[in-house]
Structure 1
Amino acid sequence: MISKQPSTASTDPGGRLTFAQAMANLNPDPSDWAPKTREAAALIERRDFDPAVALLQDVLKQQPDDVNGLYLAAEIARRRQRLEEALYLFSRCVQLTPEFQAARFRYANTLLETGQAAAALAQAEELLRRDSRNPPFLGVKAMALEMLDDFTGAVSLWQQVVNSEAPADCWVRYAHVLRTAGKRQEAIAACRKAIALDPGWGAAYWALATVNNYRLEDSDIKEMEAQLAQPRIAPASRVPLLFALGKTCGERKQYEKSFSYYARGNALYRSGLNYAPEKLTAYVERCKAVFTREFFEQRESAGCPTREPIFIVGMLRAGSTLVEQILSSHSQIEGTRELFALTRIATGLQLDMARSGLSYPAMLQQVEDAAFRELGEKYLESTRQHRRLGRAFFLDKMGHNFKQLGLIHLMLPNAKIIDVRRHPLACCFSNFTQLFANGQPETYRLSDLGMLYRDYVGLMAHFDRALPGRVHRVIYENLVANPEGEIRRLLAHLELPFEPSCLEFYKNRRAVSTISSEQVRSPIYADALEHWRMYEPWLGPLKTVLGAIADEYPNVPAVV
């Protein structure tokens, strides 16, 4: 039996729920649940997950199809970022009880979190089939359309959402879509509306501060500082306020004050994370042990032979969006977005092998060549939803795919791989100044960033030895200094002819959804190359970890 849902009646003359009313209807009423399930729900509200899991295990052991127990177990998995587990449990809920709207709504949102836009869109359509004017359901559909690069449709739906007395966070989301679609002035207005609705909603100030060439006013600074002085302001608002002040002070050349705000914002955000940088270091060492030249020579017949994918890998904030925009201006290459397909394949392999007691990537030694071909075909099929132009090649710009280079080669041995690299101090500090929308837990402490960059360079150096010539490296500073020469060299590696449109990439009107969405609509400028030097006095922890990697850049030390 599912929870009782509040009535969908509204006092609105048009019969439409406000956003708040609609969200309230998605909070299950546990009053008629079994005692153990009610107790688990109360524990979840207090974020006391372990005893809640124990209770739910008892419930589901006795009644495996208890939809309320499955729903709560899914919610715990989602909050713990065990997204594949959450997806399975939410899908069981909607299979057992198709009218369970709260479960379907969270299922759709979790699909979005894992980059499964087409599946999320299908769930959103089903939600709207039952309640066509529900603002949160319209919002889910809008986010799915955005992920599928239908920004016209997404903007239209967000307009309906924000007109339902939506809260500030919806206006910020709307502003992001407007900005991605190139509607700068409308995005600014949406941010201002969010601030008017909730002056303490820090994300609105951060969104406004990051609009290209927009400067916050003195009155904004005073208001942000006043909000920070409020003792009860939540970290979810305090963190973006600190980042917005850091950026604003930097623009005013108040660098020490700027760094102080960035440091406080990063420290506060990092305090809520459970990130252990040494885990990546251990993973990199396992990759080096498994992915040897001899191993790849034994797997020469493995994988899907297609040449369609072009992977752009590397650190965030290294120039990958610029390279993507340049290449997507070529008549034979389609730009997509940061695709989750490879991550899902790797995660699925790890989950499967964990049940067998095998570790990743060592378990890949047990995989048959034919299975790698199937994985390559699965990757192609799952990325098809993002291809709309019918071009011969497409880009996958998920930078952290550098962690999966061995798997890429085994699945797709003919796919091209481009590594975009930027000066380590410039790149890492740029990460430190960004409040990312999703994940990136390694970017909120300078020493963590240094370890990430060191592991990245070390792993790429290993693949340069194991697979000579497999990866084409673009040095960002060289691209800025000599665009045509570097673009010609890049296209030669891709075995494609040079096209002048690649030099005029800023005329490409495709939507770009990363932080650099507005910068890539302008020609290349060298102004920001040395910006990090203004903050050099405070980068000691980063320099210590990087050592010779920073000193010898763009060369790589013999021992990394």
Structure 2
Amino acid sequence: MLSDANDLYRSALNRFQRKDFADAITLVEQALQQDPQLVNGWRLLADSHAAQGRLERAIECLQRAQQYAAVQTNKWVSVSLHLTEILLRAGRHGEARQQLDHLPLADIQHVQPLSQAAYLYSLCEAHRESRDLFERALKLSPENPQLLFNCAAANRAMGDLARAETQYDQLIAIRHEDFEAYKNRSDLRRQSPQRNHIAELQRLSAQRDLPALGASQIQFALAKELEDLQEYGNSFAALADACRLRRSGIRYQVDKDLQRLTDIASAYDKAFMRDCRERRDGDMDAGRGEGIIFILGMPRTGTTLVDRILCAADGVFSAGEPGTFARELTAMVQAAGDGAAAGDGSVDFVQRSRQLDFAELGRRYQRELRSRPGTENARVIIDKNPMNYLYIGLIRLALPRARIVHLRRNAMDSCYAILKTQFRNAYPFSYDQSELGRYYLGYRRLMEHWQRLLPGAIFDLHYEQLVEDLAGESRRLFEYCGLPWTESVLDFHRQEKQGTATASAAQVRQPVYRSSVGKWKNYREQLQPLAEILHKGGIEIE
């Protein structure tokens, strides 16, 4: 019988590898009927369900696999890591972190499980634990290029920038074609005439047949280092090449995003919000959102800086940029539509979102956020996903007591900072001046809509005012957030309570500086297409 089960398992694995998931499920279920303790069978069944988007079913299968794997064995560790990965894909970060915390990691002396656990910890925003495990794995395999890359990223997140640079140097010496490492290394510090990588980057950029993504990463690094040395003309020439190369690999239509913003404003209008508020008057759970702060706006406007300032206070925990609100919203809309997968940018999705039980949406969001280890003693949790600005109307309905902090920055500085940043997967409008300008106008229109609709509900914090008067503006921020003020928060850059893996990870390890204010003016001529779009849209440029 067991040989029959193994034969069925091998056949199911063959179907899975051919992406015939339905047949794979049928065959592996037959195998499990013959041998319910076939751990790899449960894992294959989980992967087959996950491949078809049935993550909850996949989680159930892996929980069965855990039961049959002997506790504390290598197989149990492997299954637990597998389960953690699927929990993260399902947005269940709290349970994922609990799985990791229960692993006997202190006893493990093998690179693969250590590095996998380290990576999964990083997805849980547990950067200290991630860094420590990556460093342990690196000691076991000191010239492993992937470990060097991940160790450097983890040290960057935790603020050990010198260690990160050393590891990027070691990696580049071993694997010259790791183009992302060059880009990340350039971002770690301000380059100087005596100490930079410009000649090395120029040699690389002159090579032919580089892949577009790799070539763009080299050009982004070169643009950054040339800007540090105030070679602005050469810097922007490299940046223009970087953006062209990066944009060439992205399928994106800004008109679809702009229509989405218009649809949101139309659906969540004054009449709808008034009706919702009237229906909510008797809501006994109107305390939803107490102790939650949303920091939002466009990227590269100071959201990470504000996050770090608030996290310097006792009892404040940052969840990073979790995407939890959008994920819970999408799950509820799809469930209400009998599982029909309407994209979250479609008119149908926006309209269906108006029919939700907003109180339940708020409870689900809070439950997920509060399930994360590290929040047990937190009075306040921060969600700093900038794109939550899309959902401000829904946030007010689902979490009426949540604080909403909107970061504002000079439009040209904001857009230039976005243009020169290579984002891994987000913000596809970033690499073309026309698309960036048009998207920025759409963002401003939606924010103005929320401000008119919800007077007093949104705290505007201006980046320029914050860096000019850190103490005064931080006091205003703390007062709005209901947090006790202490002068020690002004040393936020020294705190090591939590790491951050955002594009600003290196900058927020320094005291506040003003050199980014007005930086776009070094490129007035080159940024003229962007300036014209913003000016025609009614945006003040200076």
Bin of the TM-score, shorter chain as denominator length: 0.7 to 0.9
Q: Are the counterparts in 2 of residues 242 and 262 from structure 1 also a CA contact under 8 Å?
A: yes
Q: Provide closer, same or farther for how the CA distance between residues 483 and 430 of structure 1 changes in structure 2, counting only shifts above 3 A.
A: same
Tell which has more relative contact order, 1 or 2 (C-alpha 8 A, sep 6+). Answer: 2
Q: Deviations over 1:86-123 (max 9, x none)?
A: 74575366357567998876664465567644444455
Q: Provide closer, same or farther for how the CA distance between residues 102 and 454 of structure 1 changes in structure 2, counting only shifts above 3 A.
A: farther
Indicate the residue corresponding to 1:453 in structure 2.
440
Q: Offset at 1:387?
A: 3.9
Q: Offset at 1:289?
A: 1.5
Q: Are the counterparts in 1 of residues 8 and 30 from structure 2 also a CA contact under 8 Å?
A: no
SS state at 1:474 partner: strand
Q: Are the counterparts in 1 of residues 191 and 225 from structure 2 also a CA contact under 8 Å?
A: no
2:130 corresponds, among 154, 164, 174, to 154
1:415 corresponds, among 402, 424, 440, to 402
Equivalence map 1:40-59=2 (5 Å): 41=17, 52=19, 55-57=20-22
Gaps of 5+ in 2: 32-40, 70-74, 343-347
Equivalence map 1:71-470=2 (5 Å): 85=53, 87-88=55-56, 90-91=58-59, 94=62, 108-109=84-85, 111-112=87-88, 116-121=92-97, 132-148=108-124, 150-165=126-141, 167-215=144-192, 220-300=197-277, 301=280, 304-306=286-288, 307-331=290-314, 333-355=316-338, 359-367=348-356, 371-384=357-370, 385=372, 387-388=374-375, 390-470=377-457
Structure 1 stretch 286-295 or stretch 104-113: which is displaced more? 104-113
Write the distance in 2 (CA, Å) between the matches of 1:509 and 1:186. Answer: 16
Q: Are the counterparts in 2 of residues 315 and 400 from structure 1 also a CA contact under 8 Å?
A: yes
Q: Are the counterparts in 1 of residues 155 and 163 from structure 2 also a CA contact under 8 Å?
A: yes
Write the distance in 2 (CA, Å) between the matches of 1:550 and 1:255. Answer: 28
Write the distance in 2 (CA, Å) between the matches of 1:116 and 1:442. Answer: 29
Q: Deviations over 1:250-299 (max 9, x none)?
A: 22222232223222222322222222222221221121122122322222
Indicate the residue corresponding to 2:498 in structure 1.
511
Identity %: 24
Q: Provide closer, same or farther for how the CA distance between residues 87 and 545 of structure 1 changes in structure 2, counting only shifts above 3 A.
A: farther
Corresponding letter in the other structure for 2:264: C
- Give aligned pairs, total: 506
Corresponding letter in the other structure for 1:91: I
Q: Offset at 1:170?
A: 2.4
Q: Are the counterparts in 2 of residues 326 and 503 from structure 1 also a CA contact under 8 Å?
A: yes
SS state at 1:473 partner: strand
Write the distance in 2 (CA, Å) between the matches of 1:340 and 1:346. Answer: 10
Corresponding letter in the other structure for 2:479: A
Q: Provide closer, same or farther for how the CA distance between residues 225 and 483 of structure 1 changes in structure 2, counting only shifts above 3 A.
A: closer
Q: Offset at 1:432?
A: 1.6
Corresponding letter in the other structure for 2:377: G
Q: Are the counterparts in 1 of residues 299 and 386 from structure 2 also a CA contact under 8 Å?
A: yes
Corresponding letter in the other structure for 1:187: A
Q: Deviations over 1:511-556 (max 9, x none)?
A: 34122233333333221111122223222342343234574269xx
SS state at 2:131 partner: helix
TM-score by length of 2: 0.81
Write the distance in 2 (CA, Å) between the matches of 1:391 and 1:104. Answer: 27
Indicate the residue corresponding to 1:23 in structure 2.
none
Write the distance in 2 (CA, Å) between the matches of 1:115 and 1:240. Answer: 30
Q: Provide closer, same or farther for how the CA distance between residues 427 and 149 of structure 1 changes in structure 2, counting only shifts above 3 A.
A: same
Gaps of 5+ in 1: 3-29, 43-51, 78-84, 555-560
Corresponding letter in the other structure for 1:364: S
SS state at 2:436 partner: helix
Q: Are the counterparts in 1 of residues 165 and 188 from structure 2 also a CA contact under 8 Å?
A: yes
Write the distance in 1 (CA, Å) between the matches of 2:217 and 2:311. Answer: 32
Q: Offset at 1:153?
A: 2.9
Write the distance in 2 (CA, Å) between the matches of 1:201 and 1:530. Answer: 33
Indicate the residue corresponding to 2:534 in structure 1.
546
Matched, 1:526 2:502: no
Q: Provide closer, same or farther for how the CA distance between residues 497 and 121 of structure 1 changes in structure 2, counting only shifts above 3 A.
A: closer
Q: Offset at 1:352?
A: 2.4
Structure 1 stretch 176-185 or stretch 187-196: which is displaced more? 176-185
Write the distance in 2 (CA, Å) between the matches of 1:438 and 1:542. Answer: 23
Indicate the residue corresponding to 1:22 in structure 2.
none
Q: Provide closer, same or farther for how the CA distance between residues 127 and 531 of structure 1 changes in structure 2, counting only shifts above 3 A.
A: same
Q: Offset at 1:73?
A: 5.5
TM-score by length of 1: 0.78
Q: Provide closer, same or farther for how the CA distance between residues 58 and 334 of structure 1 changes in structure 2, counting only shifts above 3 A.
A: closer
Q: Provide closer, same or farther for how the CA distance between residues 156 and 335 of structure 1 changes in structure 2, counting only shifts above 3 A.
A: closer
Write the distance in 2 (CA, Å) between the matches of 1:349 and 1:142. Answer: 31
Write the distance in 2 (CA, Å) between the matches of 1:502 and 1:428. Answer: 29
2:524 corresponds, among 536, 539, 550, to 536
Q: Are the counterparts in 2 of residues 148 and 386 from structure 1 also a CA contact under 8 Å?
A: no
Q: Offset at 1:149?
A: 5.2
Q: Are the counterparts in 1 of residues 292 and 403 from structure 2 also a CA contact under 8 Å?
A: yes
Q: Are the counterparts in 2 of residues 117 and 148 from structure 1 also a CA contact under 8 Å?
A: yes
Q: Provide closer, same or farther for how the CA distance between residues 340 and 151 of structure 1 changes in structure 2, counting only shifts above 3 A.
A: same
Q: Provide closer, same or farther for how the CA distance between residues 97 and 467 of structure 1 changes in structure 2, counting only shifts above 3 A.
A: same
Q: Provide closer, same or farther for how the CA distance between residues 71 and 486 of structure 1 changes in structure 2, counting only shifts above 3 A.
A: same
SS state at 1:472 partner: strand
Indicate the residue corresponding to 2:471 in structure 1.
484
Q: Provide closer, same or farther for how the CA distance between residues 125 and 197 of structure 1 changes in structure 2, counting only shifts above 3 A.
A: farther
Indicate the residue corresponding to 1:13 in structure 2.
none
Q: Provide closer, same or farther for how the CA distance between residues 308 and 121 of structure 1 changes in structure 2, counting only shifts above 3 A.
A: closer
Q: Are the counterparts in 2 of residues 70 and 90 from structure 1 also a CA contact under 8 Å?
A: yes
Write the distance in 2 (CA, Å) between the matches of 1:474 and 1:445. Answer: 27
Q: Are the counterparts in 1 of residues 307 and 318 from structure 2 also a CA contact under 8 Å?
A: yes
Q: Deviations over 1:358-399 (max 9, x none)?
A: 8222223322xxx32232222222112154472432221111
Indicate the residue corresponding to 1:81 in structure 2.
none
Corresponding letter in the other structure for 2:503: I
Matched, 1:493 2:493: no
Write the distance in 2 (CA, Å) between the matches of 1:539 and 1:276. Answer: 21
Corresponding letter in the other structure for 2:460: R
